[in-house]
Amino acid sequence: MQAMRTRKDPLLRGIAFSCLMAIIALAIHSTVDFNLQIPANALTFIVLLSCGYIALYKKKTSR
């Protein structure tokens, strides 16, 4: 959520929003199914977290 508030680049804001929605969907799904015990789903969760981290801390580059 911090990346959506602080970033000005629409691409990075969109990536942050999509990561947040995917994490929320995975959290809702985890309440009824213990899917983080499956390694592929755990890896997907880690990739989502890393995309959110990149959206927040990626340095601005010149074109």
Q: What are the structural domain ranges in the chain?
A: 2-57
User: How many Cβ atoms sit within 10 Å of the Cβ of residue 55?
Assistant: 23
pTM metric for this prediction = 0.74
pLDDT of 2 over the 70 cut: yes
Give the integer Cα–Cα distance in Å for 28 and 24.
6
Q: What percent of the chain has pLDDT over 90?
A: 17
Residue 21 confidence (pLDDT) above 90: yes
State the residue for tokens 């990536």.
Answer: 15
In the numeric block, which tokens belong to residue 58?
């990626």
Residue 51 above 80 pLDDT?
A: yes
The C-alpha atoms of residue 26 and residue 10 are separated, in whole angstroms, by: 24
Task: Find the DSSP H helices in 1-63.
Answer: 2-6, 10-30, 39-57
